Every structure is written in C-alpha cells, then in structure tokens.
Structure 1
Amino acid sequence: MALLDKVPGELKLYIGGIFTLRRRDALREANITHVLSVLRMPLDDDLFSPYNHHVVQVDDVDDENLLEHFPATNRFIQDGLDGGGGVLVHCAMGKSRSATCVIAYLMQKHHISVSEALSQVQQARPIVEPNEGFMKQLELYGQMQTPESVEDTPAYQRWVYQREIELSRAVGQAPEAEKIRFEDEHVTDQAASFELRCRKCRRPLATSQYLIAHDSSKSTNDQGPISSIAETARDCAHYFLDPLSWMRPELEQGKLDGRLECPKCHANVGKYAWQGMQCSCNEWIVPGISLSKSRIDQVKKAAVSEIRRPPGPAVSSPVNPRQNL
C-alpha cells in the first residue's frame, strides 16, 4: 500500500491532492484526524465526515490573497498535531495552494526561511511549486516575522494598499479615498537621514523614510548601481514618495493625476499620477507621487533641530520592509 506524502521530521504532517482523500486505508494508518482543504470547488461532505475539517476557499492564481489565511491555517494544523493525530493539507493537485500553507506553518513553527521550508516540503512531494504570487506572499510573511495576526501588521496593510492601487490602475480609476494609505499616519521607528522642505516658504514636506528607492538594477550612476535613497534622490529630477497626510485634500478628490501644492504657501511643489510616472532616470514608479527637485531643498538631519513630520497621528509600527535606508 502506498504511503502518504509526509513532511520530513517528527511532525505527523502530510500533503497531497484531492484524490488523497480516497485512500482511506493510508489515511487510517497515518491516524489522520484533521484535514485542511485549500481550494475552491464543490466538495463531497462524505469525504470529510470522519475528520476535523477546515476549508480555505482560494484559487491557484497569483493575485489570490492566501497570506491573510496563514494565522488560521497555522492554528488548525497545530491544533491537530497537539491532539496527537495526523494532519493532511491538500488542494486539487497538492502542488501550490496546499504547499503554501504547509510552508507558512513550517516557517512559523521552526523559524526558518521560505527556501528552507520549501526544500523540506519538496522532499515529501517533489512536484510542489507554489505560484509566483504565493511565493511573494511567503517572502513577505517571513519579513513580517510570521506574526500571529497579519492584519494588524503595517507591512501587510501596505501590501493590501499596493494591491488596491494595482486594481485601480487596471480599471483606469483613482483608488477610493478610504483606501488610500497615508504613510505618516503609520509612523515608523526608522530615523530620518534628511528632510525635504518647500524652497519658497521652507515648510517641511517629507523626511527620508517616506521616499521610495528606485530599482538598483535599472537605475545607475557613474559609479555603478544606485543602492540608496540618497543616491536616487541626487541623480533624479524628482523625489518619489508615499502619500502623506498633507496631500489628503488633493489625493482624495478621485482624480487620476494632478498637481501637489505646498500646504503653507500653495507653491507648486510636485505632481501625482495613480497610473504611474516615469522618472528622468527612466524608472517607472507606480503610483507616481513626486516632489520636484527644483522646488525642494534637501536638509541633512544634522542641520535640523527637530525632525518635523506633516500633520497626522503618531502611531508606532515596525520598520517598512521594502525600504533600505
């Protein structure tokens, strides 16, 4: 009799496809008590009647949000193992969706990387290959340090915001006002290295932790690849940045693009385009929210007695994982 595909180690954790549920003798021999189904399709209740059963209804597509389910699937797997029985995680083919959930569990359980967890699962089932979108979600989950609640994590909130921007971009519309994430209302603990001020009235508009670094593989200078916010800002005509609360009156109007004015002197200091904007260095930034270098002064932190941020409630949160200041 063929055995089930068991993840290496002492855990009674198994992975398979939908047809694995037909192998009753093998399931009984493995003492399977919990079954996690990760798929969206009609399921025969008779297949699950002997087991504790949990379903996550997702499709095997890159833009499906499986990340939000990791805490619940991890708890279900752990509950099954703690009860002394075996746990089977399955999808349609036992290749992508089920593997993603097993990898997420192993990352949290053993504090290991995505690649290490993937290698373990592939030892059990060589065909395992999560789709590209799920792999990115696993990488983000690792960067978030596999929290018990992902929805309260700023990195997850930013990721959801970026998904909303992409969706709005796909349909040619500006994002809904309530879905715009004003980053200074989620202040990081990361120290600012410099401040950007309106050249006309000297009003502080942003600090360096809100700037978006360009892709170093696409943007270069005379010395080689650009690898920092400071170098990007120095070599390009614009500072690209996250939405900040002083931009709220303009960004919440529902326009696809427009101008940004200094909230104090109303000088034109930049522009925005939700569909994206090309920098002078040819890098394409989505969304494109920029301050013009010719209208802004950059002031080093050492010259600033107190870093002043645009108005907005100060809420402590972890460092933004996609920035490297």
Structure 2
Amino acid sequence: EIVTGVYLGGYEEADSFGLLADIGITHVLNCAPVNSHASGVVPFPGELRLRGYLEIAAEDIEGYDITQHFTTAFEFIANAMDDGGKVLVYCAKGRNRSAAVCVGYLMNCWKVTLATAVKQVSAVRGRILTNTSFVKQLYELDK
C-alpha cells in the first residue's frame, strides 16, 4: 500500500485472488499491454466483486511516453478513492509502468516532489523505475 487505498504490484500479486479479496481490492488498473496476459490474470473472478477495471496499453520500453496515460489513470484512481474503494495498480513486475503511474499519481494528486514520491513507492515495492526514460519524464513533471 503506497498511500491509503492504493496498492502497487505485478502479475504475481494480481494473480493472488485470495490476497486481493482479503485486502478488499475494489478497482484494478492494469498497466500492461492488452495482449500480454499469458498468466491468465484477466478477467478477474466474480467473487472479487470489482467495481472498476481499467486497462492501459503501456509499453515498458525506452522512449515510450508513459505520461500519455496519466490523466486517465489518475482519474480512475481518484474516482475509486472517492467511491471508498481500494485500487491495485499493476503491470508485469510492478517495477516500471505501474510504478511510474503511482509515482506520477503521488506527484499530481498528493503534491509531493519526485524524490518524495520515489522514496515512498520504493519503500513499499523495492527497486522501481529501471526504465530511465520513465524517470526522465517524471523529472520533467517535477519542474
């Protein structure tokens, strides 16, 4: 949990339906490409009683503009929070795409600096943002 109600993970966590139910996840933001669901993560089982699901087809490659998804992602997270929900934001490993969204969300919605956001997210998730172009884009937002 990076802030109240917002959780960051990878396919492993997204595939742990029992854990998601125990936490009370109500909304899922999938930051992995639509065609990469070899693990069978989607669709989520009905017993999770999800109130919202959003997929953004982000790519974890150098030079990819992750910020193009920020407005949609931030609105989804904010709406879930307004609805009293809990959101899982995930991608393949929870390291780049979903971490960039979470860091950007903290910067945009919680009005913290890039350094503070990275520190907060990495304290929960460990090694994040190995995609240097995502870091550069977040740095530009921090100016």
TM-score over 0.5 (shorter chain): yes
Equivalent position amino acid for 2:137 in 1: Q
Q: Under a length normalisation based on structure 1, what TM-score does the superposition of the two structures give?
A: 0.40
Q: Is 1:19 aligned to residue 16 of structure 2?
A: no
Q: Higher strand fraction: Structure 1 or Structure 2?
A: 1
Other-structure match for 2:123: 123
Alignment of 1:205-224 (within 5 A): none
Unaligned runs of 5+ in 1: 1-5, 144-325
Other-structure match for 1:30: 23
Q: What's the offset of the Cα at 1:29?
A: 1.7
Post-superposition CA distance 1:193-246 (Å, at most 9, x none): xxxxxxxxxxxxxxxxxxxxxxxxxxxxxxxxxxxxxxxxxxxxxxxxxxxxxx
Q: Given that residues 99 and 130 in structure 1 are in contact (C-alpha distance below 8 angstroms), is that contact kept between their aligned partners in structure 2?
A: no
Structure 1 residue ranges, 4+ long, deviating more than 6 angstroms after superposition: none
Q: Under a length normalisation based on structure 2, what TM-score does the superposition of the two structures give?
A: 0.87
Residues 33/137 of structure 1: CA separation in 2 closer, same or farther (3 Å cut): same
Other-structure match for 1:184: none
Q: What's the offset of the Cα at 1:92?
A: 0.2
Other-structure match for 2:43: 46
Other-structure match for 2:60: 60
Other-structure match for 1:135: 135
Q: Distance in 1 between matches of 2:101 and 2:30?
A: 10
Q: Distance in 2 between matches of 1:17 and 1:64?
A: 19
Root-mean-square deviation (Å): 1.6
Equivalent position amino acid for 1:42 in 2: S
Q: Higher helix fraction: Structure 1 or Structure 2?
A: 2
Number of aligned residue pairs: give it.
Answer: 136
Q: Distance in 2 between matches of 1:65 and 1:88?
A: 22
What is the SS of the residue equivalent to 2:126? coil
Q: What's the offset of the Cα at 1:75?
A: 0.6
Unaligned runs of 5+ in 2: none
Q: Distance in 2 between matches of 1:111 and 1:48?
A: 35
